[in-house]
Amino acid sequence: MGNWQEKLRESVTTVDQLIERFGADKVGDPLKLQQAIDKFNLRITPAALDFIRAQGDAFWTQYVPTETELEVHDGIVDSLDEDADSPVPNLTHRYPDRVLFLVSPVCATYCRFCTRRRKVGDPEKIPLNQYEAGFAYIREHTEVRDVIMSGGDPFMLSDRRIEYLLSNLRAIPHVQIVRIHTRMPSHLPERITPELVEIVKRHHPVWVNVHFNHPDELTPAAEKALATLADAGIPLGSQTVLLKGVNDDPAVMKALMHKLVMNRVRPYYIYQADVVAGGEHFRTSLEKGLEVMRALRGWTSGLCNPYYVIDAPGGGGKIPILPEYVEMITDDEVVLRNYAGEVYRYPLPKEPVAAARGMNGNGNGQSALGGHGASRRSGTLPVLNGNGASNGNGHGCGEEVDLLPSELFVD
């Protein structure tokens, strides 16, 4: 048994152990806690336990179950509707060129906000003998160039099984990259062994996306694990979930992004917390997320600016949410507000008269109005940017200008 497996055995997994560690007065009603654990497993590794300094702090909140998990208002079990987009068990094909492949049913530490709690914690939920159906699907679908291995945590699997998964995926010619999602550097840094890294290296390009929610999770042990991965030439990205009582504070988020970049991890996503049953108490307002993004954009390096996204309920996918920087677009200029709140104007290029008449300016006489027959309408014409090009969906998004009927013909 490796050092990491021994460490895993030292985890807290029962209500009695919680009480022993933190005291009965702190952890709450044991019966209610047991009900919460029956719905979603408890495990807190020694590394994650060490984060916790006080009841209700950012780490307690992430890992210690509460009876609040039993209160379900809007939450749903499969909030992202992943199962509806699963052509074979445990593989979701939602976007055109990539798939999510759930390969592990277990994690080192269970995060109480977990979106995938329906799939995680019980080995029966993602049987390890079902990989073949996933490989076969990916082999048949030549448009799949990117496979995201997730779960659960793929690095909870044995080295032998990770080798098996990666070598099978690498044998599929159209799979260009593999991504592995893991929380091991923070929850079980002992797992990032030289042997594991050797396996990953053999199957490059493999990207590893780590998950950190608070700057204090980047302990010396976590930083060493990240360095081991980065030194093997493994590109590192990070995902963070915006969580009430954990990191819903611009200063905390900025410190986290800085620490990630210092450890050669590129911040990739900040997620708005999902509407998941059992995890609703972690949700924040959207304005809080925008406040965080406003505090990052311009105030610190672009490298420290991830996308802030809502993973749309019902399977809509990740939709970026941006603070408003464009104040107005006219046919002459764009009015912008910068990170410090100051207003600037960007003049748009002036085009020949033909462009304003709906010509595309290259003399071939084709309409630049989007192919919806708009060139033979009379009345007003949507102008997007002054160079005669509409966005092609018949809406435009700028102001409308009056044109003479004769100008609406392109012959």
Based on the residue annotation, tell me whether 297 is a catalytic residue of this protein: no
Based on the residue annotation, tell me whether 95 is a catalytic residue of this protein: yes
Among 7, 43, 93, 183, binds ligand SF4 (CB under 6 A): 183
Q: Name which of 110 and 212 has its Cβ closer to ligand SF4.
A: 110
Site membership for ligand SF4, residue 148 (CB under 6 A):
no
Residues 400, 200: Cα–Cα separation, whole Å: 56
Shortest distance, position 55 Cβ to ligand SF4, whole Å: 21
Q: Could you tell me which of 257, 206, 256 has the C-alpha nearest to residue 234? A: 206
Shortest distance, position 117 Cβ to ligand SF4, whole Å: 7
**Catalytic residue selected from 63, 110, 114, 119:** 114
Residues 377, 358: Cα–Cα separation, whole Å: 12
Residues 248, 272: Cα–Cα separation, whole Å: 10
Site membership for ligand SF4, residue 152 (CB under 6 A):
yes
Size of the site for ligand SF4 (CB under 6 A): 10
Contacts by 121-125 with C-beta closer than 8 Å and gap 24+?
121/40, 121/41, 122/41
Shortest distance, position 102 Cβ to ligand SF4, whole Å: 9
Residues 285, 273: Cα–Cα separation, whole Å: 10
Surface-to-core class of residue 110, CB atoms within 10 Å of its CB (0-12 exposed, 13-18 middle, 19+ buried): buried
Site for ligand SF4 in 368-387 (CB under 6 A): none
Residues 140, 96: Cα–Cα separation, whole Å: 14
Bridge partners (DSSP) listed for residue 400: 382
Based on the residue annotation, tell me whether 116 is a catalytic residue of this protein: yes
Q: Name which of 150 and 360 has its Cβ closer to ligand SF4.
A: 150
Based on the residue annotation, tell me whether 249 is a catalytic residue of this protein: no
Based on the residue annotation, tell me whether 311 is a catalytic residue of this protein: yes
Site membership for ligand SF4, residue 155 (CB under 6 A):
no
Based on the residue annotation, tell me whether 304 is a catalytic residue of this protein: no
Based on the residue annotation, tell me whether 318 is a catalytic residue of this protein: yes
Q: Which residues contact 180 (CB under 8 A, 6 or more apart)?
A: 148, 149, 150, 154, 155, 200, 206, 207, 208, 209
Secondary structure string (H, E, C) spanning 279-306: CHHHCCCHHHHHHHHHHHECCECHHHCC
Shortest distance, position 282 Cβ to ligand SF4, whole Å: 11
Based on the residue annotation, tell me whether 50 is a catalytic residue of this protein: no
Site for ligand SF4 in 102-121 (CB under 6 A): 107, 110-111, 114, 116, 120
Q: Name which of 116 and 214 has its Cβ closer to ligand SF4.
A: 116
Site string for ligand SF4, 49-88 (x = CB under 6 A): ----------------------------------------
Q: Could you tell me which of 377, 369, 368 has the C-alpha nearest to residue 402? A: 377
Based on the residue annotation, tell me whether 254 is a catalytic residue of this protein: no
Bridge partners (DSSP) listed for residue 269: 239, 307
Catalytic site residues?
A: 94-95, 98, 107, 111, 114, 116, 274, 311, 318
List interacting residues with ligand SF4 (CB under 6 A).
Answer: 107, 110-111, 114, 116, 120, 151-153, 183
